[in-house]
Amino acid sequence: MSDLKTAYCKTPLGITKIIGDDNGVQSVSLLNEDISIDELQSTSSPLPIKNCIQQLHEYFEGTRKEFSVKLNPQGTEFQQKVWTALLDIPFGRTKSYLEQSKKLGDVKAIRAVASANGKNPVWILIPCHRVIGSDGSLTGYAGGIWRKKWLLEHESGSKQQTLF
């Protein structure tokens, strides 16, 4: 079993913490506190982490719409099934929790699907931000609704304009 490594990268939405090893990236999350990532950078990151950092930079620059990072998220069989289904939501598109439940074969599992989405350990790469309420509302997002809104606008290519 290989040792998990941690790396950090700066994004427009905050400092991102990436944990993984040669088997893949297990976790991509946002830190709540602002830290100096210069002193925390690891030069010995496994290839999946290096690829993740590069692809996140490309995503935020607007030059990447799909990720090809080797993933290894840890979760229950049901959570894994939900996270795999999230990967089928195309860049710039959204699905409702109800649509996701139907896709997984159980319309009554909507709360369980929402719960599994909330436990998604791989921010952005497994796009739980693309799941919205049936009425179009931006419900539930561990990183905060403002980040969900930012990500969806980033992917749609049409930012909401302000008058002032």
Closest C-alpha to 119, from 133, 146, 140: 140
Q: In angstroms, rounded to a whole number, what is the distance separating the alpha carbons of residues 37 and 10?
A: 8
Told to judge if 52 belongs to the known catalytic residues of this protein, a careful annotator would answer no
Q: In angstroms, rounded to a whole number, what is the distance separating the alpha carbons of residues 66 and 76?
A: 25
Angle, in degrees to the nearest 10, between helices 77-86 and 110-118: 80
Which secondary-structure segment (H or E) carries 111? helix 110-118
86, 128, 131, 132: which one is catalytic? 128
Burial 61-75 (b: 16+ CB within 10 A, else e): eeeeeebebebbbeb
Rg, C-alpha atoms of the chain = 16
Give catalytic residue positions: 128
